[in-house]
Structure 1
Amino acid sequence: MIKFYRKIRQKLLSENKFGKYLAYAIGEIVLVVIGILIALYINNRNQIRLFEERTDILMNEVLLDLENLIKASNYQLDFYSNKQIIFDLILNNKLTYDDYSSNKYPNLSTATTWYNGGLKQRMAYDNLTKEINAIPEKYKPVFKDLSLLYSNKFNENYRDLIENMSNENMKKRADKYEWYSYSGSYSENKEMFDYMLNDYLYKNEVKHYATIVNFHIGYILGDKNRAQKSYKEISTLLNKPIDDDIIDYNLDLFKNLVGEWETEMAPGIIVTVYEDKKRLFYKDNIDSIVGQFHIISNKKLINENRVFFTIVNEQDEIVVKQTGGINWKKVK
């Protein structure tokens, strides 16, 4: 092909057709440039395709980490919902000696020493950040949301704080109280029960611990909400189905809760629970301020004020028990 073009140029020169030669040479250059541009375009498209394929792989790994984070958050919130019941009983002097000795409430004696620590799995996100400059444009908004989630350290900081407090509380008891090493039956550890029922310093310890836990609950819920937002965005970009359990959508639960509710503790107040875009909201008939419920399990909810709600069935009637001893019953 090159020899063919060379012969044409030589013929034009030998015939003194310089103008035609020049036009031909320019045309040949243009064709070469066009060929180069086409090759670059194809190569660029191939690079983009490879980057997208690589990003899709990383995003699938991030998606799995987000699912695990959401599930771990629900587990932590469920753990703390049980803690809050115990805190309320202790701080409001609702417990008796028999409550401790019979072990009526599991983990009652470890209210300030037993903790649940969860870690964000971030390897997939860290791998993604290493290739930030090659990430296709369509993923950039999602990356910003992920950055907010993984750069927020409050959840981990409070988890570490609670772990340290729990260990310090155990050490304090080991250093100060003979009953700590009691090896007999738990139900006969009378000195420990007396300490937990009557010692004001223990009540102060519980109050402080409960306050820190309450802050931690807020940060866990915040991480969960951000993880759910990113999960939905990434699933959509990857054309993957969205798992309703991951985004707190439970059709049967919603059907049971949607309606009007009242409590004997606040006569005249009616709370309306309703669904909107697969989310569960509520408002009362006093100020109409809208709040949102977040599902922990098929029997537990939490609102944005960090108040827990447990769904129970009493005599074929659904009752929602709010932390603090408030029971809600459905009006209609």
Structure 2
Amino acid sequence: MAQSKTSKYFKYAVGEIVLVVIGILIALSINNWNEDRKAAEKSKTLLQQIHKELAFNIGKANNVIEQYRSKDKLVFDVVNRNVNYEYYTNKGMSAFIILSQEAVEIADDAFKNLMDKQDDFTKEQDSIISKLKEIYGTNKKRVDLTDDITTNLVLEYFKNYKNEKKWYYNMIMNNQLNDEAINYLLTDSTYLNLVANFQIINLNNHKRYTNIFRRNALDTYEELSNYLKIVKDTTIIKNSKAYDHYLGTYTNGIRTHEIIRANNKLLSISYSNSNPENQFVFNFYPDSKHTFMMRTHLFGELSYNSKNEVIGFTVSNGSQRREFKKIK
């Protein structure tokens, strides 16, 4: 009987231990689940802040790109000598290409805060985090560098003109170009060199890096909007159906661009006519009903006929111009 009681007691004790272990495991599991849930909620809050910061930075990039768009035709006219006295009289100070410059000044406080909490990321968020690191790493560094270069150049130009040009006082105080200033813009080879330098540094580099940052920021903003279930700002991600007039195939005989819609998004498919299988596909974001950016650095503008039908577009980058005809 004693042996039977001992056996029952042993089984009871083992059962108690098993129940305690199971209870501990359940408690640990619940605790881990709670911790994971808290981490996921915390990282979502951080990503919501990034979402707002991306929207802010996209707006700043838009402003710089539009500034360059207004100067693009000016560079073309100066380089190709399509300018005269009346040209500068009519345009005034806005025609002095090299004396104004806006920096992007990308904000990154939310991103830095996100990086300080890297342990809170979930595997589901890894893809977005990787894209953000590229945007705020490589892309931002290039924009910041060219921000500094272009801003310092303008300050240097002002300093030189202040010290060397008699017409500087009248231009600054009256905000207009007098005969001496216009003569300088028309005939001085130094100014033509500075405009060529503007194309290389500002249009080929600062504008290009700004647009690459903007394009990647737009893609990630849209992905974040979907992930966080936030309604997209229609001034940032436009309704593609409002831009049906862009759809079609355009060529200049050497290169072809196809603009299509897929999954309610516009895509640009670009390829050389001699090698159509080697295609580049990008999300296509029109800037307006008539203007857009092609690839990383080209301004684009649609062409219309008398019936207000799209018949092609022109892409440009300062002194460079290419026309494409719509073939279907």
- Looking at structure 1, the residues matched to 258 and 293 of structure 2 have their Cα atoms a distance apart, in angstroms, of 14
Tell me, what secondary structure is at the counterpart of 2:289? coil
- Structure 2: 5+ residue stretches without partners: none
Change (3 A) 1:226 1:269: closer
Counterpart check, 1:322 vs 2:315:
yes
CA-atom RMSD in angstroms: 2.8
Matched, 1:107 2:97: no
CA-to-partner distance for each residue in 1:98-125, whole Å, 9 max, x for gaps? Answer: 1111227x7112x112011112221111
Structure 1 gap segments, 5+ residues each: 1-11
The DSSP-based 3-state class of the residue aligned with 1:107 is: helix
Q: Tell whether 2:144 aligns with 1:156.
A: yes
Shift of 1:185: 5.7
Quick one: distance in 1 between partners of 2:165 and 2:63?
A: 33
Change (3 A) 1:114 1:274: same
For these two proteins, the number of residue pairs brought into alignment is 313
Q: Distance in 2 between matches of 1:74 and 1:61?
A: 20
Question: What amino acid does structure 1 have at the position aligned with 2:94?
Answer: N
Partner of 1:295: helix, strand, or coil?
coil
| Alignment partner, residue 166 of structure 1 | 154
Greater alpha carbon shift after TM alignment, 287-296 vs 205-214: 287-296
Residue 216 of structure 2, aligned match among 215, 218, 226: 226
> What SS does the aligned partner of 1:320 have?
strand
Shift of residue 316, structure 1, vs aligned partner: 4.1
2:256/2:273 contact within 8 Å kept: no
- Which residue of structure 1 aligns with residue 201 of structure 2? 212
TM-score, reference length from structure 1:
0.83
SS of the residue aligned with 2:313?
A: strand
Q: Deviations over 1:55-104 (max 9, x none)?
A: 11111111111122223222221211222211111122111011111227
Q: Would you say the 8 A contact 1:70–1:224 is kept in 2?
A: yes
CA–CA separation in structure 1 for the residues paired with 2:45 and 2:182:
55
Aligned partners of 1:142 and 1:92: how far apart in 2?
45
> Could you tell me whether the CA contact under 8 Å between 1:244 and 1:250 is conserved in 2?
no
Look up the SS of the partner of 2:65 in the other structure: helix
- Residue 250 of structure 1 aligns with an amino acid whose one-letter code is S
For the residue of structure 2 that corresponds to 1:75, the secondary structure is helix
- Looking at structure 2, the residues matched to 276 and 18 of structure 1 have their Cα atoms a distance apart, in angstroms, of 78
Which residue in the other structure is 1:274 paired with? 259
Distance 1:137 1:185, change over 3 A: closer
Residue 44 in 1 paired to residue 32 in 2?
A: yes
SS of residue paired to 2:267: strand
Aligned to 1:137: 123
Task: Mark the structure with the bigger radius of gyration.
Answer: 1
Measure, in 2, the Cα distance between the counterparts of 1:285 and 1:49.
50
| Alignment check: 8 A CA contact 1:74 1:297 kept | no
Counterpart of 1:96 (choices 71, 79, 84) is: 84
**Equivalent residue for 2:187?**
198
Aligned pairs (5 A) from 1:8-157: 17-103=5-91, 107-109=94-96, 111-152=97-138, 153-157=141-145
